[in-house]
């Protein structure tokens, strides 16, 4: 899924208006850059008119933005006396950020510009038994390769690492992943800080929900949940687009809620009877492959394969749907979201989705409380990538704007 170009630009600059600036000139520069980046102003005259600035003030503002290479000005056609009106465009390649993220059994890297455009992508396949040393080496190689691929003149805002599993966001440590159970407590900061600082670590679902809410703020007003039901089971929660991410980082791991009906089933987290042992793809795949041996472990590939499978013929799928529906209903009694989006290959199957929707509605929330709006969608790595990069890009733009002087 690709976000439309106009929406990408809105993601980049969505927070600029809220940035703190020391003086009027810096604020004017930020407002002018916002207009140009949104395509709402294409000339000095349009900026001056929309912001109510004098021509001399507008000239100082645009001159500073051009000098800082945030805005490009090309010669325009002369319409009368005086200087030809220049055409203003935002320099999307002025600043970029690297994002490392999980893609099935691989680590992936993307270099993105201010428009959210992916300039370079790289992948490193990681064996299921990989330990800290193997994954750290792959991360370092990806980060270094992305830095080498930066266009000339681009400022690197840093590296965002978007991960699934358990994280310590404060310490920037990857505690555990169901895809690589031999990896424990990987210090991501120590691995990447010497290569492409600063380093940000985030939960993948938080990053994806952040970008979704920024693209469609009206649809994510109030509380919004993003539930991913795929290789693992987890969720993110946001209120008016602001993701709930506690200082420690661990949140939304409903895949490790324990159910008596799953007693005795071992989970990669070290416990038994976790929801994932009966509902995650890593647990269901052996049974699914008995009927459909060609099924891939890659979620993107499964998104295309599973709609054609008669999943509802399997008792294991019915059990999984019932468990996830009950877990989600219990989450709703805690957070009371207005909207829920469910992603993952399983919900791409129309019959399974209809069954899950009915199960969830049968669970209810509480008497007198409206049921949240429930929908499904494809998991989007573009949302994840840009949602992870956005804080780094925003801070870099803020630094560039704060450096402007009248």
Domains of the chain (ranges, CATH numbers): 5-91 (1.10.10.10), 95-207+383-396 (3.30.420.40), 216-379 (3.30.420.40)
Please state the pTM of the whole predicted model.
0.86
H helices present in 14-54, as ranges: 24-38, 44-51
What number is the average pLDDT over the span 69-82? 72
- Minimum mean pLDDT range among 12-26, 162-176, 331-345: 12-26
Rounded CA-CA distance 205/80 in Å is: 54
Rounded CA-CA distance 292/294 in Å is: 6
Who wins on pLDDT, 176 or 356? 356
Closest CA to 39 of 78, 76, 87, 84: 87
Binned at pLDDT 50, 70 and 90, residue 247 comes out as low
Who wins on pLDDT, 365 or 91? 91
Rounded CA-CA distance 204/115 in Å is: 20
* pLDDT at 114 exceeding the cut of 80: yes
The pLDDT value recorded for residue 5 is 39
Count other Cβ atoms within 10 Å, centred on residue 292.
Answer: 13
Instruction: Report yes or no: 21 and 34 within 8 Å, Cβ to Cβ.
Output: no
Instruction: Report yes or no: 116 and 11 within 8 Å, Cβ to Cβ.
Output: yes
Binned at pLDDT 50, 70 and 90, residue 286 comes out as very high
The pLDDT value recorded for residue 4 is 37
**pLDDT, tens digit, for every residue of 76-109?**
655 555 555 689 999 999 999 999 999 888 999 9
The pLDDT value recorded for residue 178 is 83
* pLDDT at 404 exceeding the cut of 70: no
**pLDDT, tens digit, for every residue of 175-227?**
988 889 899 999 999 999 999 999 999 999 999 999 998 888 888 888 999 99
The pLDDT value recorded for residue 2 is 37
Tallying the residues shown for the chain, one arrives at 406
Tokens of 60: 């100082």
Binned at pLDDT 50, 70 and 90, residue 1 comes out as very low
For tokens 């294991």, name the residue: 316
């Amino acid at each position: 899924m690709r976000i439309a170009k106009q929406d990408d630009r809105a993601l980049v600059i969505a927070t600029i208006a809220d940035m703190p600036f020391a003086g009027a000139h810096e604020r004017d520069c930020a407002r002018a850059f916002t207009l140009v980046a949104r395509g709402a102003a294409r000339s000095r005259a349009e900026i001056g008119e929309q912001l109510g600035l004098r021509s001399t003030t507008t000239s100082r503002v645009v001159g500073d933005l051009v000098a800082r290479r945030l805005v490009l000005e090309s010669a325009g056609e002369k319409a009368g006396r005086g200087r030809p009106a220049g055409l203003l465009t935002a320099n999307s390649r002025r600043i970029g950020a690297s994002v490392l993220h999980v893609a099935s059994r691989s680590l992936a890297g993307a270099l993105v510009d201010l428009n959210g455009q992916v300039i370079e992508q790289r992948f490193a396949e990681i064996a299921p038994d990989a330990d800290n040393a193997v994954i750290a080496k792959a991360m370092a190689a990806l980060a270094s390769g992305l830095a080498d691929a930066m266009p000339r003149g681009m400022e690197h805002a840093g590296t965002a690492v978007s991960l699934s599993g358990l994280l310590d966001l404060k310490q920037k440590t990857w505690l555990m992943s169901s895809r690589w159970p031999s990896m424990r407590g990987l210090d991501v900061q120590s691995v990447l800080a010497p290569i492409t600082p600063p380093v940000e670590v985030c939960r993948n679902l938080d990053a994806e929900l952040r970008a979704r809410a920024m693209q469609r703020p009206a649809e994510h007003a109030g509380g919004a949940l993003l539930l991913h039901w795929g290789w693992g089971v987890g969720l993110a929660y946001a209120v008016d687009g602001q993701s709930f991410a506690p200082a420690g980082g661990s949140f939304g791991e409903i895949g490790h809620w324990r159910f008596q009906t799953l007693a005795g089933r071992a989970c990669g987290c070290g416990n038994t009877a976790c929801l994932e042992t009966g509902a995650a793809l890593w647990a269901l795949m052996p049974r699914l492959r008995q009927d459909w041996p060609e099924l891939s472990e890659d979620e993107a590939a499964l998104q295309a394969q599973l709609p054609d499978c008669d999943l509802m013929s399997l008792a294991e799928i019915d059990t999984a749907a019932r468990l996830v529906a009950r877990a989600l209903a219990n989450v709703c009694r805690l957070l009371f979201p207005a909207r829920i989006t469910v992603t993952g290959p399983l919900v791409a199957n129309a019959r399974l989705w209809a069954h899950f929707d009915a199960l969830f509605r049968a669970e209810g929330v509480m008497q007198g409380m409206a049921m949240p709006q429930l929908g499904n969608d494809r998991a989007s790595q573009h949302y994840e990538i840009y949602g992870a990069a956005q804080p780094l890009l925003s801070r870099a733009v803020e630094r560039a704007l704060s450096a402007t002087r009248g």
